[in-house]
A = this chain, B = another copy of it.
Amino acid sequence: MRQVNVGIVGLGNIGTGTMTILAENADQIALKLGFPLKVTAVCDLLIDSKKIPEALGPVVRTANWREVTSDPNVDIVVELVGGTTVASEIIHAAIDNGKSVVTANKELMAACGPEIWDRAINAGVNVAMEASVCGGIPIHAVLREGISGDRIEAVYGILNGTSNFILTEVEKHGTALETVLAEAQRLGYAEADPSADVDGLDARSKLAILSALAFGAKITPSDIYVEGIRRITPTDFDYARQLGHTIRLLCAARQTPEGLILSVRPALIPLKTILAGVRGSYNAVWVKGHYGEDTFYYGRGAGPRPTGVAVVSDLMRVAREIRNGSPQRVSPFAHARLNEYKPVPVTIQRRAYYLRFRVKDRPGILATLAGILAQKKISLEAVLQQPYDDKSDLPFVITVEPTSEQAIREAVEEMSKLDFLTQAPLALPMEPLL
C-alpha cells in the first residue's frame, strides 16, 4: 500500500524523540502497518539549528508552520509546539485542510479537547493525543480500546513525575522538601518556576483529559480541586508510615451517587497498595472498573523517547485508518448520557483525614482541638506524637474517622485561629483506594 506522509511541527525534545524512532524503527513500523510511514516535512522556528536524522531521507524544512498544514503532500500533522495559542491555530488549520492531527498538547486538549474533536469529526479526520498524558504509558489506548467495554467508576493517578520524584526523595532521605526541590532545580529535573509541578497544575490538566476520556464527559481543569505538595515534611512521612501509609500527589476522579468528585492533592495512601510502590519520576494510573475491577498502568511520564513512542504509535493508528478509509467517529468525550457524570464540589466527599499540627507545647492543646472536632461532629480515631526536642514547634497528628471534607475545612478554619499553633493545620485525606 502507498506510504502515509507526516509533517512534524515543533522539533523540541518530543519532536526529536519522534524523529529518532521514525528513522531508526522504520522497517518494523512498515512491517506492522503493511506500508511505510514517512516524515516529509518538518517545521521549527529555529529550523536552521535543528538536526534532522539523515535516515528520514529528503524532507521539506521550514520555519513557517502554514507550509506544513497546507502541504498537499502531508497526510498527518504532528503538533508538538505546546501551549494554547499557536498550537490551536496549527491544529485548526490542519483539520480545515483535511489532515488528521497527532498532538502531545495537554493544556490545549484539557481546555478544548471536545471542541477540537467535534471539528475533526465534521471534517472527517482523526485526532490522536496519547502523548498528552503520561508520555510512556499508553493510557489512551487502554481507555479507548483495551477496556472500552467496562464502566469506569474511578481513576487514580500519579501524573506528575517531578513532584513524585520530590516526594519520594523526601520519603527516602528525610530531607526537607525545599532542599530536594532546590537540588532538582540545580540538576534540571525541576523548572526554575516549579509551580506547574509542585502546585499540581500540570497534573490537573492531565486529570482533566483522563477523566474526560474515562467518563465521556466534558471536564476542564477548573472543575478539579487542586492543592500542591509544598507543605509536606519528612515528619509527615514518618507519621504516615506509622499509620501504614505513604504520601503521594494523588489525582483522583471518582463517580459517586452525588456526581464526579475530582481532585489533585497530597493524600495518604496505604503502603500495601501497588500505587505506593511508584517512586521517582514514574507515572501511574489506577482504573477501577465496574466489571473489570482494578487495573494499573505504570511507566515513564515524560522524556523524548517514551513520549516519542506515544506519538509514533498514534501516527501508526491514524495512518492505518487513513489507508483503510477514514471511519465514522464518535468523540471520546461524548459517550456519557446527559448529566450522568457531573462534577460536584470536593467538599461533599467523605474520607478519613490526617490532621498534622505544629504547636508551641503547653497543657490543654489536645482538649481544645478535640473540642473543636467534637463540635463539628467529627470522631477522633488516633493521636500520634513522636518524641521531639523542640517544644516550641512540636508536630503531632490526629486522625479522624470518615467525615465530610466540608466539616474538616470548617474545623481547620476554626483551629487556625488558635494561638498555640505555629502554622495552620495540614489536613490530608486518607484514600482507601479499595
Q: Which residues of A contact B (CB under 8 A)?
A: 1, 17, 20-21, 25, 27-29, 31-34, 130, 136-138, 140-142, 145-151, 216, 274, 277-278, 289-300, 303, 305-306, 308-313, 315-317, 320-321, 323-325, 327-330, 334-337
Question: Contact between A295 and B27 (Cβ–Cβ < 8 Å)?
Answer: no
Name A277's contact: one of B145, B277, B325 (CB within 8 Å).
B277
Query: Known pairs A274-B298, A321-B327. 19 more at Cβ < 8 A?
Result: A21-B149, A28-B151, A28-B335, A29-B149, A32-B148, A32-B335, A33-B330, A34-B328, A145-B316, A147-B313, A148-B316, A149-B310, A149-B312, A293-B305, A294-B298, A295-B299, A296-B297, A298-B298, A324-B327
The reply to whether A147 and B138 contact each other, CB–CB distance below 8 Å, is yes
14 pairs from A and B in contact (CB 8 Å cutoff)? A21-B291, A25-B291, A31-B336, A34-B329, A137-B295, A138-B145, A141-B142, A148-B312, A148-B313, A150-B309, A277-B277, A293-B303, A295-B298, A325-B325
A240 CB to nearest chain B CB (Å): 18
Q: Which residue of B lies closest to A139 (CB)?
A: B146
Closest to A299 in B: B295
Q: Chain B nearest CB: distance from A6 CB in Å? A: 12
State the Cβ distance, A179 to closest chain B Cβ, in Å: 24
Q: Given known contacts A299-B293, A306-B293, is B335 in contact with A328 (CB within 8 Å)?
A: no
> Chain B contacts of A300 at CB under 8 A?
292-295
Report the minimal beta-carbon distance from A143 to chain B, rounded to whole angstroms.
9
The CA of A296 and the CA of B134, in the complex, are separated in Å by 13
A25–B34 CA distance with the chains assembled, in angstroms: 35
Please tell me if the beta carbons of A295 and B136 are within 8 angstroms of each other in the complex. Answer: yes
Q: How far is the CA of A311 from the CA of B145 in the complex (A)?
A: 11
Bound CA span A32–B274, Å: 30
| A325 shortest CB reach to chain B, Å | 6
Of all A-B residue pairs in the complex, the 6 with the closest CB atoms, nearest first, are A138-B146, A149-B312, A324-B327, A141-B146, A295-B299, A292-B309
A306: which of B27, B274, B292, B323 is its contact (CB, 8 Å)? B292
Report the minimum CB–CB distance from A271 to chain B (whole Å).
10
Are A292 and B136 also in contact (CB < 8 A) when A34-B328, A324-B325, A325-B327 are? yes
Q: Which single residue of chain B is at the shortest CB-CB distance from A278?
A: B274
A145 contact set on B, CB distance < 8 A: 138, 141, 145, 313, 316-317
